[in-house]
Each structure stands twice: as C-alpha cells, then as structure tokens.
C-alpha cells in the first residue's frame, strides 16, 4: 500500500548536554492527537528506517490523525535492554530513556500530542529499546510494538529496577530470522558479533502476558499464506497468538512462518535479512492494536479488545 505524501521536519533536542535528533512527520492536525514513536534498527537512522519501510508507517500520520516521530539513536544504535550491548550509545552513557521522555514532552508541547496516547514501535535494536521503555517508563506509554526482537534472558537484562506497570504489547517475528532467533538463544549478526541471549518469541509473548496478569489461555488465529504475491512462491504464512482477558492489557504475537529479519507488509528487505512477507500489513496491525487511525487499514482484521 502506497504511503501518503506527508511533510517531515528534522528537529533537535538537548538531552543531558547531548544534542539528539528526530524527524517529525505529518501535517498540523487536531489537538490531542496520539503520538507514535518509531525506533530504528542496528546500523540504521531515522532516515534509513523510513526508506527501509517505504515510509509505510506514515499512513498513521495522514490527514493529521497522529503525530509521528522517527528518533535517531547515537551512532546508529540504542542503549537498549540488553547487558550484552556494546554499542557507543551504551559505552558513552547516552540516556535514551531520557531522550524518549523529552521527545514525548516536545511532541505534546509543540505538535498537539496527547500524553495519554503514546505508542512506541521498535524494529530490531529499536525493538530492544522499546522493551527497555516498557520496563522503565511504562506509565508514559499506552502500548508498544516490538518487531524482530525478543525479551532478553534474565542474565542479559539491563534494567535493574523495572517498573511493574501493565502495558499492551504487540510482537512480530519471523521464524527464519537470521539475526534474532525466533526460537530463542544467541542473537548475532549472521553468526558474528554476538548480542546476548534472548527468550523465544512465544516465551516473550508469555512473559508479557504474565506481566499483564493474564491467566487465560491464548487464542490462536490463522491469517493465511502468501499466494505468489508477497514473497513469491507461497513460502510464508502468518499465525497470530492472542492473550486476552477482560480488564487486562492484551498481548499479541504475529508469527511470520518462513519470514526473516524484516518489517512485513512494507518493503522487501535485502536478501541477507531473509524473506519479507508483503501480505501481512504490519502498519494496519499496529493501528488496530493501538486503536490508531490509518489510511485504508482493515478495521477488524487485527483488532484486539482488552
């Protein structure tokens, strides 16, 4: 689906004496708009994530419906939730949690953002940053979507004083992810530069369901198989696992069987990243899960009621 043509401006913030940058996307709209924060992957920037996803998430900002911001990590990385993190953002003590907190404040003051409806979407290293935010400032968030990242193993988990605050969590992960194993274990760059141990994607979903005090058994939903369009040759399929219980924030895991380290439904990733399923609409799924408006997003296909 083609992304709308919406304006984008680069803005700066001073965070603990360091200059940080972000790209704010969208036209001026109504006040009290939901805020969507996009966190890029390792070796990416805000601009690279926009290109990597063909600007697809900007559908959320069409017609001023939401205020969307892509944040830049320090030297293309985040000080994320893993102890094994050896990026400059960690070694040079960049406080990315403070950066996100200050970004929210900026978007509320200058762009009509609603502080009660802040959603974070993170891919890969950005997904690990979203995990950190979900444990350190969950009270500032209304939900999080984690793509191609899993909960760090206990011995690899960086936050020392996590805040126990239930939060809707959506997960998207490919079973053939060559960087972050769907089945858990050591994340690495094609076998090099190990990034530490993580839980499996299903264990990650169960972890957040327990964190949200959901005791009900999950519901499985088959969402279909590609038919020559998405990745070609019908080699991927999508299954959803939903943890739902009245009065509890929901947790959903979208498993892309045969999928790689990608953002499904946006743009075909480079071959080394694995297959990209182009039939599952990640943007529509995020919009429905978080009750966000989206250009032509199917209204009922992915919506989860708490």
The 10s digit of each residue's pLDDT in 41-72 is 999 999 999 999 999 999 999 888 899 999 99
**Helices 96-111 and 125-136, axial angle in degrees (round to 10):** 80
Tokens of 144: 């999080």
The 10s digit of each residue's pLDDT in 111-130 is 999 999 999 999 999 999 99
Measured between alpha carbons, how far is 237 from 280 in angstroms, rounded to an integer?
9
Asked if residue 66 lies in contact with residue 35, where contact means CB atoms within 8 angstroms, the answer is yes
Q: Of the candidates 252, 285, 278, 283, which has an alpha carbon nearest to the alpha carbon of residue 264?
A: 278
Residue 292 pLDDT level (bands cut at 50, 70, 90): confident
Q: Of the candidates 52, 73, 67, 76, which has an alpha carbon nearest to the alpha carbon of residue 8?
A: 67
Please provide the average confidence, as pLDDT, over all residues in the chain.
Answer: 89
pTM over 0.85: yes
Greater confidence (74 vs 234) lies with 74
**Residue 142 to residues 36, 47, 167, 231, 289, Cα–Cα distance (Å):** 10, 25, 7, 33, 11
Residues β-bridged to residue 37: 69, 120
The 10s digit of each residue's pLDDT in 87-114 is 999 999 999 999 999 999 999 999 999 9
Measured between alpha carbons, how far is 248 from 304 in angstroms, rounded to an integer?
12
Asked if residue 244 lies in contact with residue 35, where contact means CB atoms within 8 angstroms, the answer is no
| Residue showing tokens 């194993």 | 181
Written in H, E and C, the secondary structure of the chain is: CCCCCCCEEEEEEEECCEEEEEEEECCCCCCCEEEEEEECCCCCCHHHHHHHCCCHHHHHHHHHCCEEEEECCECCECCCCECCCCCHHHHCCCCHHHHHHHHHHHHHHHHCEEEEEEEEEEECHHHHHHHHHHHHCHHHCCEEEEECCCCECHHHECCCCCCCCCCCEEEEEECCCCCCCCCCEEEEECCEEEEEEECCHHHHHHHHHHHCCCCCCCEEEEEEECCCCCCCCCCCEEEEEEECCCCCCCEEEEEEECCCCCCCCCCCCCHHHCCCCCCCCHHHHHHHHCCCCCCCCCCCCCCCCC
The 10s digit of each residue's pLDDT in 183-205 is 987 776 655 566 689 999 999 99
| Residue showing tokens 């990034």 | 195
Tokens of 232: 């070609």
Residue 299 pLDDT level (bands cut at 50, 70, 90): very low
At 36 the pLDDT is 97
């Amino acid at each position: 689906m083609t992304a709308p043509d919406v304006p984008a401006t680069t803005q700066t913030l001073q965070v603990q004496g360091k200059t940080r940058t972000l790209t704010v996307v969208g036209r001026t709209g109504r006040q009290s708009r939901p805020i969507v924060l996009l966190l890029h992957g390792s070796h990416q920037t805000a601009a690279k994530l926009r290109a990597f996803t063909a600007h697809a998430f900007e559908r959320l900002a069409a017609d001023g419906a939401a205020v969307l911001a892509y944040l830049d990590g320090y030297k293309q990385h985040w000080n994320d939730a893993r102890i094994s993190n050896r990026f400059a953002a960690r070694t040079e003590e960049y406080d990315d949690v403070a950066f996100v907190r200050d970004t929210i404040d900026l978007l509320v003051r200058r762009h009509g953002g609603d502080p009660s409806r802040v959603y974070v979407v993170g891919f890969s290293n950005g997904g690990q940053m979203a995990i950190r935010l979900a444990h350190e400032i969950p009270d500032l968030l209304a939900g999080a979507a984690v793509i191609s990242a899993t909960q760090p193993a206990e011995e690899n988990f960086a936050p020392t004083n996590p805040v126990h605050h239930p939060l809707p969590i959506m997960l998207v992960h490919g079973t053939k992810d060559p960087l972050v194993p769907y089945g858990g274990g050591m994340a690495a760059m094609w076998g090099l530069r190990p990034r530490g141990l993580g839980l499996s994607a299903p264990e990650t979903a169960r972890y957040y369901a327990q964190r949200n005090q959901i005791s009900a058994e999950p519901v499985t939903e088959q969402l279909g198989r590609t038919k020559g369009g998405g990745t070609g040759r019908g080699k991927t399929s999508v299954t959803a696992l939903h943890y739902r219980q009245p009065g509890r924030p929901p947790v959903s895991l979208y498993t892309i069987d045969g999928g790689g380290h990608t953002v499904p439904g946006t743009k075909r990733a480079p071959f080394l990243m694995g297959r990209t399923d182009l039939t599952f609409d990640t943007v529509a799924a995020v919009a429905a899960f978080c009750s966000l408006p989206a250009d032509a997003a199917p209204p009922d296909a992915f919506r989860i009621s708490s």
